[in-house]
Amino acid sequence: MRTASVASQQACKLRPSIKKEPEKLPFCCRVCVGALVVEVEEAVGAPRPIVVTKESKPVMFRGPRSRKAPVVEPVYRRKTNFLRVTKSAFREPHPSNGDSKGTLGVPPRTKIHNLWLSSINRNVLLPALVSLRGVGVRILDNNDGWLLAACSTLWALISVGFQSVNICTTIMGVVSNNFHGYLLDQVSFVLATLCSVICSVLLAFSPRRLNELIERVEDTLFALHSPRDLRQYWMPVILLTLVGWLYMALRFVAVTWVLDNQPPKDVFKRVCLKGIVGERLASPRIPFMQTFRLMHEGRLYENKVPVANVPVGVETLSVFFTEANPKHSDRTLLFFVALIWYLNTLFVYGTLVFVPILFISFCLVLARAFKVHNVVIRNVHKSGLSLEADSLAQVRIFYERICTLVTDLNEIFGPVIFSWYIMIVLSVCIDMTQLFSDTNLLKNTKEDEGFLFSLRGIYSLLSFLGTCLAASRVSEEALAPLPHLHELTLRSWRLDMDTKMEAHFFLSRLSSSPVSMTGWNFFTINRSFILSVCAALTTYVVIIIQMNPKAMKTINKLVTTALNNTGNGTASSE
């Protein structure tokens, strides 16, 4: 302590001369005194300038006093012989950091303007997280009170319970052959609901890991940016969230359109379990266990009457296994049907929409962090400066810090994205099979069902491409420093042995174990994955068309009609 105090006194005496008249000191003296000042200030924990010297001009780098200060960027006054990156730019933020000292002298307007940028957990990823809470996914924050946490958990339980009931009733209807419409519709609905339940359960059982990931991403971004610069992350996330809610609104409109174009009784039959009709089952109320007993004995379909000839309330059981009251008016039936359909859209498709949006948001944030971090190496490469060993070690350590975030994100979202991709691929196959099997849908005779079908197809395509491109961008930005490091190692006459070893370690990390997003380690999500899936789906569509002669005839008629309309339009214009 005595040596540190004496050294600090000497450093304080020599600092004004270093700042005001650095040229009067010899080169070796300036370096020694500068190192002494750095060691003393590191011992006392004070922010210090790092002096990068040339023969005539010093270059000053100063670390940020707080998380509200911008990241340290090199200020080149003249071309220097070597570059040293400040350690404070890549340090771990501590709660004891002097934020109050760093905000002294800041205008009140700036303080108020930066309040909404205080943390990434409440700003950058807030739209996606709040949307997931709204659709029934259990997303908890460490700052939530017990009441908000209890409400979120209860809403998530209601969502999972509703989806489980839907799965049970749909499977019951398919097994007993008591469903309305196409079998492929029921299979697609079961796949979507099952995937939604899996995503909700996986995210609900890892709230602590997700919160820790968000906090570490927050610390990383604050080490790279000032709060004002976080707008470049906030805007893409809010746009993605708005697109998700736009799709939800269009789906609500499509569901309402289908309801308006059909009689209330027929619509009510779609939501209910049908076929449990006959003299034996025409009692006012049939117990649920008795229904299964009759199914097991094979007497369920004895003397079955067509559904169209049975009045509403006698032949149907609602999704909650209660009898429909024949006294209900058409508006009441439509209200219950619309409520069930809207809740189904909110819980099932809302989860399937906003879980990929949260994953894309994470990928965009991490890719941007890699890109900003790579600017340091790119600037050194373009400026022709040589990098010191400790500075290159700091860059490599911070790179590993971002890679750790990618690994944690992959562990949390790997099973979720895997199940979501399986659902998307199977749903597209089912939709293509239904499209080329249903001539009415292919000819678009029913505009409401055609609109809902096309909306679902557009969502599947855009969400698949969005997740793949966002995940591939992370791996591309992670490999971006590779050519710049190769160029730096070519300047071997300027690098010492320690710097060469650090560059070798960095190149080995980039080459041997590249960063990438995977689907539960079954496949790597990149651009080649998009081509592989598209090729498989194209092959499947060709096989489906060849196996269905009616679809071939319908397609030929549609193509001929389109060509004739085009020719007539060209002739009339001439």
Residue-wise DSSP of 393-422 = HHHHHHHHHHHHHHHHHHHHHHHHHHHHHH
Query: pLDDT higher for 121 or 188?
Result: 188
pLDDT tens digit sequence for 401-425: 999 999 999 999 999 999 999 999 9
Residues 172 and 52 in one domain: no
Q: At what angle do helices 183-204 and 207-224 cross, to 10 degrees?
A: 70
Q: At 48, is the secondary structure helix, strand, or coil?
A: coil
- pTM, 2 dp: 0.72
Q: Is residue 545 part of a domain?
A: yes
Terminal-residue alpha carbon distance, the chain: 96
Q: Is residue 314 part of a domain?
A: no
Q: Residue 262 to residues 256, 334, 466, 468, 554: CA-CA distances in angstroms?
A: 10, 10, 35, 39, 26
Q: At what angle do helices 350-383 and 207-224 cross, to 10 degrees?
A: 30
Q: Encoding tokens for residue 554? A: 């319908």
Task: Name which of 446, 424, 453 is nearest 185 in CA terms.
Answer: 453
Calpha distance 542→183 (Å, rounded): 22
CA-based Rg of the chain, rounded to a whole angstrom? 32
Residues 447 and 512 in one domain: yes
Q: Is residue 563 part of a domain?
A: yes
Residues 397 and 517 in one domain: yes
Residues 127 and 213 in one domain: yes
| Confidence at residue 120, expressed as pLDDT on a 0 to 100 scale | 41
Query: pLDDT higher for 74 or 393?
Result: 393
Residues 349 and 457 in one domain: yes
Q: Is residue 301 part of a domain?
A: no
Average pLDDT, the chain: 70
Residues 122 and 83 in one domain: no
Alpha-helical runs (H) found in 176-206:
183-204
Per the structure, the count of domains in the chain is 2
The residue range of the domain holding 518 is 116-263+333-573
In contact, 215 and 61? CB cutoff 8 Å: no
| Cβ neighbours around 453 below 10 Å, total | 19
123-134: average pLDDT = 88
Residues 57 and 179 in one domain: no
Calpha distance 39→231 (Å, rounded): 37
Residues 15 and 136 in one domain: no
At a CB cut-off of 8 Å and minimum separation 6, what does 240 contact? 127, 128, 357, 360, 361
Task: Give CA angle at 71 (70, 75), nearest 5°.
Answer: 100
pLDDT tens digit sequence for 473-510: 999 999 998 888 888 777 656 677 888 888 888 888 88
Beta bridge partners of 49: 62
- Is residue 568 pLDDT above 80, yes or no? no
228-250: average pLDDT = 86
Of 91, 126, 146, the one marking the end of a domain is 91
Task: Name which of 180, 341, 170 is nearest 256 in CA terms.
Answer: 341
In contact, 450 and 444? CB cutoff 8 Å: yes
Q: Is residue 542 part of a domain?
A: yes
In contact, 524 and 533? CB cutoff 8 Å: no
Calpha distance 191→172 (Å, rounded): 15
In contact, 303 and 279? CB cutoff 8 Å: yes
Name the burial class of residue 326, with classes exposed (0-12), middle (13-18) and buried (19+) by CB atoms within 10 angstroms of its CB. exposed
Minimum mean pLDDT among 135-149, 218-232, 418-432: which range?
218-232
Q: At 58, is the secondary structure helix, strand, or coil?
A: strand
Q: Is residue 441 part of a domain?
A: yes
- Is residue 36 pLDDT above 80, yes or no? no
Amino acid at 555: I
Residues 447 and 351 in one domain: yes
Dihedral class, residue 525 (left if φ above 0, else alpha if ψ from -120 to 50, else beta): beta
Q: Is residue 315 part of a domain?
A: no
Residues 153 and 248 in one domain: yes
- Check the CA dihedral 206-166-460-239 and report its sign: negative
Calpha distance 166→161 (Å, rounded): 9
pLDDT tens digit sequence for 291-315: 334 434 444 333 333 333 333 333 3
Residues 400 and 509 in one domain: yes
Minimum mean pLDDT among 91-105, 186-200, 409-423: which range?
91-105
| Confidence at residue 341, expressed as pLDDT on a 0 to 100 scale | 82
